[in-house]
A and B are shown apart, each in its own frame.
Chain A
Amino acid sequence: MTGTEALIILAYLLASVLFIIGLKGLAHPRTAVRGNKIGALGMFIAIVVTLMDKKIISFEIILAGIILGGLIGGVFAVKIAMTAMPQLVGLFNGFGGAASLLVAGAALIEAGGMGSTQLNVATVASGIIGSVTFWGSFIAFGKLQGFISGGQTLIPARHIINILLVSAAMVIGYMIVSDPLNTNMYWYLVIVASFLGVLLVIPIGGADMPVVVSLLNSYSGIAAAATGFVLNNNGLIIAGSLVGASGIILSKIMCVAMNRSLINVLFAKFSVVAGEKTKADDIYEGKIKSTNADEIAMLLDGVQRVVIVPGYGMAVSQAQHAVRDFANLLESKGVEIEYAIHPVAGRMPGHMNVLLAEADIPYEKLKEMDAINPTLDQTDVAIVVGANDVVNPVARTDPSSPIAGMPIIDVDKARTVVVIKRSLSPGFAGIPNPLFAADNTLMFFGDGRKAIVEINNALQDG
């Protein structure tokens, strides 16, 4: 080992330590900005020392790639709306997976059949995971962006097709390991794994996206770690496994928040629930009390405590700034305002928190489900903005319901509930919500943002 080689390896160690310190910094909003910068510094060091590697004979192509990629990434990062964050993270995951599979492919070709078994096996792993990550993320991106149907698209016999694809990938993988000179095989592997990636994500519906995005995040890390085994590079192995662990934890948290197993989400078993379906008409008929902005403004006169429950509908209608103005109006009258955040509200973990932070709402006011639930019976008004399944009391009461046992925000315990929603249409679970017909519930039909702006105007006039 020459001095330069040792230096490079030590620099990767330094980079890995910086990644760990950086991730640790993310544990608190105060230290998070610095944590992210430390992570970026680690990445910068890793890239710079790599340029010292004696394998590199020309820098032009590297530079061109970095400039092009940097511009694209920079524009995305600056322009993207906070509401579209799940799509962006999904897309970036996919790019990471694509980069890993391309690097592994190039390494296989460069080895010219002389690579170790480790290199060949790891290349196969990187090819499969990288392709699944790229295409899975692309489909998730499409669903979130709306150019692919967001619902569950159930392809007949998809489990059998998936098993066939996995078997095919195994066979091709074995052929690559036994005859690594035949590099064309690698691209067949990529094609098979690409179909697998598409088919694995296509059946999964919109509200399960937080799990999918977390899991793909994990895959992109594992693909990088596999590429680390291809290149015998500890920097890649460490960084990749950190991200792999992170994605797995987030997927687990999301599943617990929906009271479903990961298998259940991945195989899209959700809507197939035996038993009679409750008719929406029976529940809603004659019991819905529709309200308007003036009535709500009157209702809010003299209250002490209001809890706001945001859902995906708030993101869709970009209502977060209106919500902030609403909260400021009430707070100026001495009302205590808190926000109840369900873990799976939105389309990725923590989505609602980002939107509310964008509107300058202090994070101390954002309460987790377990913290806010005991306070709801002392709450005068709970305002639900574009959320449905996460406030459906059926989860507590009806064991045969598809969402039975899912932890919910107990808004029905508040003295009055105001639900701002476009219509009575069901949420992702496809079931009616008895909350809307409850005696203490008022429905305000309309677009989330417009509705809140109307309430704000009524409050100011009143």
Chain B
Amino acid sequence: METFVIGLTTFVLAIFIGFEVITKVPPTLHTPLMSGSNAISGITIIGAVLSAGAQYSTLTTILGFSAVVFATVNVVGGFLVTHRMLKMFQGKK
């Protein structure tokens, strides 16, 4: 119960931080905001790495491996494509 309460506290506070930070992003940057925050949601990768590396059973290893692949596509693809877009907004120097 105690860990749950701590987790819930973190969850609620983080949502408020999210609201505060995101409302300041101008509409011009909404697409990169989406792909960038999308990359951050790939944080599941750390859970995936744990499952793939722990090798509890063949099934969990396969699940973990698939999760690592999905999450890495999400993380690497997300940050890279966001970078590509933001470079365009910076314009030519």
Say what secondary structure dominates the interface of chain B: helix
Instruction: From known contacts A62-B52, A235-B46, infer whether A250 and B30 are also in contact, taking CB-CB under 8 Å.
Output: yes
Measured CB to CB, the nearest residue on chain A to B75 is A43
Query: A57 CA to B75 CA in the complex, in Å?
Result: 24
B residues 50-90 touching A (CB-CB < 8 Å): 50-57, 59-61, 63-90
Is the beta-carbon distance between A43 and B79 smaller than 8 angstroms? yes
Query: A23 CA to B52 CA in the complex, in Å?
Result: 29
Residues from chain B with Cβ under 8 Å of A46 in the complex: 43, 45-46
- A74 within 8 Å of B by Cβ? yes
- A301 within 8 Å of B by Cβ? no
Instruction: From known contacts A36-B86, A341-B27, infer whether A26 and B38 are also in contact, taking CB-CB under 8 Å.
Output: no
User: Range of interface residues on chain B?
Assistant: 35 or more
- A458 within 8 Å of B by Cβ? no
Residues from chain A with Cβ under 8 Å of B17 in the complex: 20, 242, 245
Is the beta-carbon distance between A27 and B77 smaller than 8 angstroms? no
Is the beta-carbon distance between A47 and B49 smaller than 8 angstroms? yes
Is the beta-carbon distance between B38 and A241 smaller than 8 angstroms? no
With both chains docked as a complex, state the minimum distance between the C-beta of A406 and any C-beta of chain B, in angstroms: 16
Measured CB to CB, the nearest residue on chain A to B82 is A36
Query: A58 CA to B52 CA in the complex, in Å?
Result: 8
Residues from chain A with Cβ under 8 Å of B16 in the complex: 245
Which of A16, A37, A89 is close to B38, meaning CB atoms less than 8 Å apart? A89
Instruction: From known contacts A61-B61, A238-B10, infer whether A110 and B56 are also in contact, taking CB-CB under 8 Å.
Output: yes
- A266 within 8 Å of B by Cβ? no
Is the beta-carbon distance between B47 and A96 smaller than 8 angstroms? no
Instruction: From known contacts A93-B38, A353-B31, infer whether A109 and B26 are also in contact, taking CB-CB under 8 Å.
Output: no
Residues from chain A with Cβ under 8 Å of B45 in the complex: 43, 46-47, 99
Is the beta-carbon distance between A353 and B81 smaller than 8 angstroms? no
Residues from chain A with Cβ under 8 Å of B87 in the complex: 33
Interface size, chain A (Cβ < 8 Å)? 115
Say what secondary structure dominates the interface of chain A: helix
Is the beta-carbon distance between B40 and A43 smaller than 8 angstroms? yes
Is the beta-carbon distance between B47 and A227 smaller than 8 angstroms? yes
Residues from chain B with Cβ under 8 Å of A23 in the complex: 18, 21-22, 25, 33, 36-37, 40
- A401 within 8 Å of B by Cβ? no
Is the beta-carbon distance between A76 and B81 smaller than 8 angstroms? yes
Query: A232 CA to B14 CA in the complex, in Å?
Result: 15
- A439 within 8 Å of B by Cβ? no
Is the beta-carbon distance between A103 and B14 smaller than 8 angstroms? no
Instruction: From known contacts A32-B29, A235-B43, A360-B91, infer whether A109 and B56 are also in contact, taking CB-CB under 8 Å.
Output: yes
Is the beta-carbon distance between A110 and B60 smaller than 8 angstroms? yes
Query: A102 CA to B49 CA in the complex, in Å?
Result: 12
- A65 within 8 Å of B by Cβ? yes
Stretch at the interface among A78-86, A165-173, A383-391, A415-423: A78-86
Instruction: From known contacts A231-B47, A354-B31, infer whether A57 and B55 are also in contact, taking CB-CB under 8 Å.
Output: yes
How does the 8 Å CB contact mask read for A294-305 relative to B, with 1 for contact and 0 for none?
000000000000
Instruction: From known contacts A65-B65, A77-B77, A109-B57, infer whether A224 and B44 are also in contact, taking CB-CB under 8 Å.
Output: yes
Is the beta-carbon distance between A357 and B74 smaller than 8 angstroms? no
With both chains docked as a complex, state the minimum distance between the C-beta of A180 and any C-beta of chain B, in angstroms: 15
- A280 within 8 Å of B by Cβ? no
With both chains docked as a complex, state the minimum distance between the C-beta of B39 and any C-beta of chain A, in angstroms: 7
With both chains docked as a complex, state the minimum distance between the C-beta of B46 and any C-beta of chain A, in angstroms: 4
With both chains docked as a complex, state the minimum distance between the C-beta of A55 and any C-beta of chain B, in angstroms: 5
Query: A304 CA to B35 CA in the complex, in Å?
Result: 38
Measured CB to CB, the nearest residue on chain A to B72 is A69
Residues from chain A with Cβ under 8 Å of B68 in the complex: 61-62, 65-66, 69, 99
With both chains docked as a complex, state the minimum distance between the C-beta of A7 and any C-beta of chain B, in angstroms: 14
Instruction: From known contacts A29-B86, A36-B86, infer whether A59 and B63 are also in contact, taking CB-CB under 8 Å.
Output: no
A-B contact pairs, 18 of them (CB 8 A): A22-B36, A23-B22, A27-B29, A29-B86, A30-B90, A33-B83, A36-B36, A46-B46, A102-B70, A107-B47, A217-B41, A224-B41, A229-B7, A236-B43, A250-B22, A253-B27, A348-B34, A349-B34
Chain A residues in contact with chain B, CB under 8 A?
Answer: 12, 15-16, 19-20, 22-24, 26-30, 32-33, 35-37, 39-40, 42-43, 46-47, 50-51, 53, 55-59, 61-62, 64-66, 68-70, 72-74, 76-78, 80, 82, 85, 88-89, 92-93, 95-96, 98-100, 102-107, 109-110, 116, 118, 213-214, 217, 220-221, 223-225, 227-247, 249-250, 253, 341, 343, 348-351, 353-354, 357-358, 360, 362-363, 366, 368
